[in-house]
Structure 1
């Protein structure tokens, strides 16, 4: 049993990797049973799912005396975006433009400002200066979703622009993101998970591991790798450092996930209602 994972983010992982492929809806009883494998108790699961419901990620419906939870449109969009970034193999090509978002949110809406900052970091924006955020990625869709979600059209100005100096695009990147730190974390991930990969490959070939254990390992792998969504801005290859380890980490993640997924899915289906 593994208690190191926060219940709410573990639920996000399960929705992203499993539930959304099964109609995006699950009975709370199944969710409790699945999370028990990681050492989470019923009370923690109910509290976390109720919080996610208040935040607009899921909605509940009663069928008889049973509660079912399904992803909202906002939840589906987030899962879709996360999944695209988690299961990609390499960085995209750059169109040479920077997207620049400037906000001017009044002091009496400070909590809104904090929420927006978190969302911008998650989407891969970098903070260039106070209230000015940039990204080389075409994130127009995500920005419009954010503006609608928080109803902040009046406070946001959004540009698609070219960088005219005074330095290089590379120095802009260094100013906005600590890629050295991200690269070090990729290095740690590769070291830890290549070892685990070979051990589990061996166990699976020998038939010496249960479906339940594969499920726990697979969800834990996704859960750990998902953390890179919060720190890696997913920059185009032209803007990445020479010794970038993100692509090697992605290959390892995909190979390991493919190894565990069939058995993990069997376990999920045995519990899922």
Structure 2
């Protein structure tokens, strides 16, 4: 039985993995046709894209009687930020410093605190104590964008510091992130998708898997894998446990992605070109060497 995922979330996936490399714009009819492959009807697609427009992720433009939607600057920045973290194939090296964000937001701006919390978790920060967030990663740009976005410069302090105790880095990480739980999620991903990878690779080699089926599986793979963005803080190798499975999951993702890439892209383009006759693909985009996949894979 085919899984059905949130329509809005699936649209984000299609923009991030396909549309942004084809002029960043798509006819609503093409979007409806693509999402039909996943069990989403026209009404749900139109409702979801309307919500995304109101939230500032996409904007629309009319050509004749056709409506086209494209990512806003905010949407493109979010996609780029996601690409730098969730699709990496190995953990970053660490400079030994911690970034500390402390804020005291007044009660009348309470709603900002909730939004800030979601944004900080998404970026990889961990909560050390009340309104005090830390990360070992250099996220200065993200922090400055958050401060500007919510206009909270007067309520925020940001530090880059070294940790002098009293406990070690391992205890600090354990207090801020549940790496054991995250590792279990990576283990589940590896167990499920390593089997699917072997089966689908064999089907493709025998010509037993349609382009449309490859498109669905590749998109679902990305959709599932990008969920780690919301739980994995992307800690440096020095702060991870020895049995960490994140890099193995990332390598499996890359292998499976590339196996599905050519037929999936062929299907996408066949649908896309019907409603976007003047479409142009990004010259730097290569479906077998996706910009979201770490260069490390290319060296293996």
TM over 0.5: yes
Give the corresponding residue for 1:60.
60
- Quote how far apart the aligned CAs of 1:163 are: 0.8
- Quote how far apart the aligned CAs of 1:264 are: 0.6
State how 1:113-192 maps to structure 2 within 5 Å: 113-192=113-192
Q: What are the superposed Cα offsets for residues 14-44 of structure 1, whole Å, 9 maximum, x if unpaired?
A: 0000011112111111111111110011111
State how 1:29-48 maps to structure 2 within 5 Å: 29-48=29-48
Give the corresponding residue for 1:20.
20
Q: Which moved more, 1:102-111 or 1:182-191?
A: 102-111
1:2 and 1:82 map into 2 onto residues whose CA distance is 26
2:11 and 2:57 map into 1 onto residues whose CA distance is 11
1:64 and 1:152 map into 2 onto residues whose CA distance is 43
Indicate conservation of the 8 Å contact 1:3/1:40, yes or no: no
- Quote how far apart the aligned CAs of 1:54 are: 1.4
1:43 and 1:21 map into 2 onto residues whose CA distance is 26
Aligned to 2:68, what secondary structure does the other structure show?
A: strand
1:108 and 1:247 map into 2 onto residues whose CA distance is 43
Aligned to 1:133, what secondary structure does the other structure show?
A: strand
- Quote how far apart the aligned CAs of 1:159 are: 0.9
- Quote how far apart the aligned CAs of 1:175 are: 0.2
- Quote how far apart the aligned CAs of 1:3 are: 4.6
Question: Runs of 4+ in structure 1 displaced over 4 angstroms?
Answer: none
Gap runs ≥5 in structure 2:
277-300
2:71 and 2:10 map into 1 onto residues whose CA distance is 15
State how 1:68-107 maps to structure 2 within 5 Å: 68-107=68-107
Indicate conservation of the 8 Å contact 1:15/1:24, yes or no: yes
Indicate conservation of the 8 Å contact 1:89/1:250, yes or no: yes
- Aligned CA RMSD, in angstroms, stands at 1.1
Aligned pairs, number: 273
2:186 and 2:4 map into 1 onto residues whose CA distance is 20
- Quote how far apart the aligned CAs of 1:223 are: 0.5
Gap runs ≥5 in structure 1:
none
Indicate conservation of the 8 Å contact 1:99/1:136, yes or no: yes
2:55 and 2:121 map into 1 onto residues whose CA distance is 18
TM-score by length of 2: 0.89
2:5 and 2:154 map into 1 onto residues whose CA distance is 38
Indicate conservation of the 8 Å contact 2:4/2:39, yes or no: no
